[in-house]
Amino acid sequence: MASANPFNSILKTLEKPQGGEFGKYYSLPALNDPRIDKLPYSIKILLESAIRNCDEFQVKSEDVEKIIDWENTSPKQVEIPFKPGRVLLQDFTGVPAVVDLACMRDAMNKLGGDSNKINPLVPVDLVIDHSVQVDVARSENAVQANMELEFQRNKERFAFLKWGSNAFDNMLVVPPGSGIVHQVNLEYLGRVVFNTNGVLYPDSVVGTDSHTTMIDGLGVAGWGVGGIEAEAAMLGQPMSMVLPGVVGFKLLGKLRDGVTATDLVLTVTQMLRKHGVVGKFIEFYGEGMSELSLADRATIANMSPEYGATMGFFPVDHVTLQYLQLTGRSDETIAMIESYLRANNMFVDYNEPQIEKVYSSYLQLKLEEVEPCISGPKRPHDRVPLKEMKADWHACLDNRVGFKGFAIPKESQDKVAKFSFHGTPAELRHGDVVIAAITSCTNTSNPSVMLGAALVAKKACELGLEVKPWIKTSLAPGSGVVTKYLQKSGLQRYLNQLGFHIVGYGCTTCIGNSGDIDESVASAISENDMVAAAVLSGNRNFEGRVHPLTRANYLASPPLVVAYALAGTVDIDFEAAPIGTGKDGKKIFFRDIWPSSEEVANVVQSSVLPDMFKATYEAITKGNPMWNQLSVPSGSLYAWSPTSTYIHEPPYFKDMTMSPPGPHGVKDAYCLLNFGDSITTDHISPAGSIHKDSPAAKFLLEHGVDRRDFNSYGSRRGNDEIMARGTFANIRLVNKLLKGEVGPKTIHIPTGEKLSVYDAAMRYKTAGQDTIILAGAEYGSGSSRDWAAKGPMLLGVKAVIAKSFERIHRSNLVGMGIIPLCFKSGEDADTLGLTGHERYTIDLPSCVSEIRPGQDVTVATDSGRSFTCTVRFDTEVELAYFNHGGILQYVIRNLIGSKQ
């Protein structure tokens, strides 16, 4: 049982300089332990949390010692508990989280427990942001038109979240149309230091989107977790995590003129991917830090998932404090933040001598060596220097199909597809741009690249350049602040002139909400098998994500998005070839429209003002007319509608009893799918459009939903019937059982029939047959999507055997009771001679106490071949979740008071 905090002796009072006190705090210096001075700042946040929450039950004194001794314990895969300060949700993952909370209340009722115990115990910030499908793009009224369409499509989903904000305590819901969750978190929600009931402590957050890491740029420790894990954290469960190694990343010098923060982050992403940082913290330091604005830091922190780290952390310094002032935080709040962090030796003051921190490994980058670049055509870390882009593009056309290849025959590479665009003759070639989108949390929070894009537009318009009318251009800011400073600068009109009208405030093209491209363009691409391109200022460019018809997708800074839209193709050498022809017939080059760093800085200085942030976020709390008019049911238990295609009660707690089911092995399981490397959560559980021939489409049509109202998988995450049918429904899925055919199908092994993955899974399930999945390296990389684990569980998948897992997805699989196993080093399905046509048996002890984290098990097949795998239950707590059949079942039984 819990006992008094043994560290209460170091609870100190933080005095205000002018008299009075800010509050109490647990003082790290008061421990008088020299090891603490050498700890990375990011590890100190874990240490403070362990000290403050120490009750010798959930968090123990020995956990505190493990963290203090980080230099020695971190290489040993030591487990620690962590209680974050708050949980961040966005609506795509917020809906299933609230669905699960509502279901848990029902389950508690049925088991005789107090359903009101199912309430967030830590603050929950839920931002409704993933809801801008770009239907209307080139129009002055695009924002209002898209918003009205979203409310028509998602009224039921929005109403459910509004019900949740009333039904559950400690839950703040930010209405739709306010911005992207991560930018709202940075500009408004981030506390940096909490003051709760008179106790001060560092802000820390886990969020149900992998780009929660953006907040690390503000000195707030935050990272993405699965929705399942976030729900447990909301309910007061400590997160079990392996004490991470920390890579010290030293920044030196200053970026060259004309080089953007996006160029920097794509360079850092490539460096860190090469270094290998999965499961690690990255902590940035060095004299180059003073040259990076807070927005630049947030841009780098945002893309932690793309370089594979848990987080990319920037400790709080004077730049952080200046940003807090800019974004409208009060003087008293900022004074409290600085005083607390200085008192606890967690503030970096570059005017003072620096105590050398100890890191697990070291990297450094001279900022002046960063050059303009983009990444693609299929992965964020495949960086291409701008000067090499044309050559790289032609290599991609030549290369065999893969991350850097399309295998277009030489004789077809110059193909021209002629079509008629609204009566005007038009042509398409390989590499022509059909989508150009300034979008995503990564870059729209950064005024320098946003205003840089506007300056490119201004110069282009003045020279007479235009964007071809069939290119779908759009601008989706992460918050209303962007609109205010673009208007203040007088530059929005130039973006409009080129077709970059504001389409809404939220995730758009980057999440797959690009909407349809013109039918004539779509036909030209499909009928001629063209490799069309999208250029977007996002962080994700996996196949099939941006748009089904753009096979080449490149990540670029907002100014480069405008430049490529003007060029109309990615098949261009900007140094040698003109970008277009001006109004006087003169050839215009890239250098003629590219602004200097000084030009950008001057516009940022004069146009980005504190009042803009205050006005924007005061309006958020008032909501908007469409949100305010939503009527919602009252009551703490939700009245499930059997006819709803958006909100449905899932079967997770069906037939649940008070007794844990215990661990399960796998016997004579069939292989549902056999994958290679880099299967992303987009492949497993797509968020984009619902294909007209898919099992999900069939379900919707049978339930009276017109095709134009299908919406996206992301918007329907509150309905398990649709999401189960959407599991492995990505049109770019490559399943080795299909021997080269691409698409969301598989072979039903007993009959040899080719079926949709869902139909095959249901056939196995009906016959009472278990299934497993074979996979390569980095299985589950990409977004921290809980449905990528929930879906396979509903399909009857009992285990995934892979070369390696992305951190969050492995955790999600455990949370849903699926066994993650890793092949031994140097082995995989191919080297072991596995075809996927075998039947697989995995023997696990029937008693959880006989299973150890990371132990080896034997996998036997009916072909007579056996091999050894490592079970990826990484902690004792994860074994407890497995014993209970999942994390949510564990929480319910724990709350009712069952023995663990």
Residue 530 lies in a domain: yes
pLDDT digits (tens, 9 = 90+) for 212-253: 999 999 999 999 988 888 888 998 888 888 899 999 999 999
Average pLDDT rounded to a whole number, residues 509-532: 92
837 and 751 within one domain? yes
**How many domains does the structure of the chain reveal?**
3
Question: Based on the domain organization, do 273 and 408 belong to the same domain?
Answer: no
- Assess contact for 593 and 473: CB atoms under 8 A: no
Q: Are residues 253 and 299 in the same domain?
A: yes
**Residue 734 domain-assigned?**
yes
Query: Which residues have C-beta within 8 Å of that of residue 445, sequence separation ≥ 6?
Result: 180, 182, 183, 186, 187, 214, 295, 298, 299, 302, 478, 479
**Within this chain, do residues 749 and 810 fall inside the same structural domain, yes or no?**
yes
Position 874 confidence tier, pLDDT thresholds 50, 70, 90: confident
Question: What's the average model confidence in pLDDT over 523-548?
Answer: 92
pTM for this entry: 0.85
pLDDT tens for each residue of 413-428: 999 999 999 999 999 9
Residue 589 in this model has a pLDDT that exceeds 90? yes
Residue 14 lies in a domain: no
Dist. CA 163–CA 824, nearest whole Å: 48
Terminal-to-terminal C-alpha distance of the chain: 12
Q: What is the pLDDT of residues 71-106, one digit of tens each?
A: 999 999 898 999 999 999 988 888 999 999 999 999
pLDDT above 90 covers a percentage of the chain that reads: 77
Q: Are residues 387 and 437 in the same domain?
A: yes
Overall average pLDDT of the 469-479 stretch: 94
- Whether residues 689 and 674 fall in one domain: yes
Confidence at 801, pLDDT banded by 50, 70, 90: very high
Report in angstroms the alpha-carbon separations of 739 from 674, 736, 746: 10, 5, 10
Residue 732's pLDDT is what?
Answer: 87
Q: Is residue 900 part of a domain?
A: no
Q: pLDDT-based confidence at 899, cuts 50/70/90?
A: very low
Cβ atoms within 10 Å, residue 732: 18
The pLDDT, as a whole number, for residue 130 is 63
Which of the listed residues 612, 639, 655 is the one where a domain comes to its end?
Answer: 612
What's the average model confidence in pLDDT over 843-852? 88
**The pLDDT of residue 709:** 87
Domain housing 276: 24-83+243-370
pLDDT confidence bin for 131, thresholds 50/70/90: low
705 and 576 within one domain? no
Q: Can you give the CATH number for the domain in which 829 is found? A: 3.20.19.10
Q: Of 612, 630, 651, which closes a domain?
A: 612
| Span 253-310, pLDDT tens digits | 999 999 999 999 999 999 999 999 988 999 999 999 999 999 999 999 999 988 989 9
Neighbours of 781 (CB within 10 A): 27
- Mean pLDDT on 469-485: 94
Residue 704 has a pLDDT of 95
- The pLDDT of residue 849 is 87
Residue that is last in its domain, among 340, 370, 400: 370
- Is 632 inside any structural domain? no
Mark whether 348 and 474 lie in a shared domain.
Answer: no
| Residue written as token pair 């663990």 | 900
Between 457 and 894, the more confident residue is 457
Q: How confident is the model at residue 3 (pLDDT cuts 50, 70, 90)?
A: confident
- Which amino acid does the sequence have at 435? I
Q: From start to end of 432-471, where are the E strands? A: 433-438
pLDDT of 412 reads: 95
pLDDT digit string (tens) for 628-653? 999 888 889 999 998 999 999 999 99
Same domain, 459 and 421: yes
The CATH number linked to 378 is 3.30.499.10
Q: Are residues 380 and 353 in the same domain?
A: no
Percent residues over pLDDT 70 in the chain: 99
Q: Is 113 part of a structural domain of the chain?
A: no
Mean pLDDT across 599-628: 91
Count of residues in the chain: 900
pLDDT for 900 beyond 50: no
Query: CB–CB of 439/479 below 8 Å?
Result: no
- Tokens in use for 383? 């960086």
Q: Is the pLDDT of residue 802 over 80?
A: yes
All residues at 6 or more sequence positions from 575 whose CB lies less than 8 Å from its CB, including other chains: 387, 590
Q: H-helix or E-strand containing 325?
A: helix 318-326
- Could you tell me if 574 and 441 lie in one domain? yes
Domain contains 800: yes
Tokens of 240: 């079990």
Tell me the pLDDT tens digit for each residue of 13-27.
999 988 999 999 999
389 with 330, same domain: the answer is: no
> CA 26 → CA 41, 46, 443, 684, 779, distances in Å?
16, 13, 37, 44, 40
Q: Which helix (H) or strand (E) holds 196?
A: strand 193-196
Residue 205, domain member (yes or no): no
State the pLDDT confidence band at 345, using cuts at 50, 70 and 90: very high
| Mean residue pLDDT across the chain | 93
| 228/406 Cα distance (integer angstroms) | 37
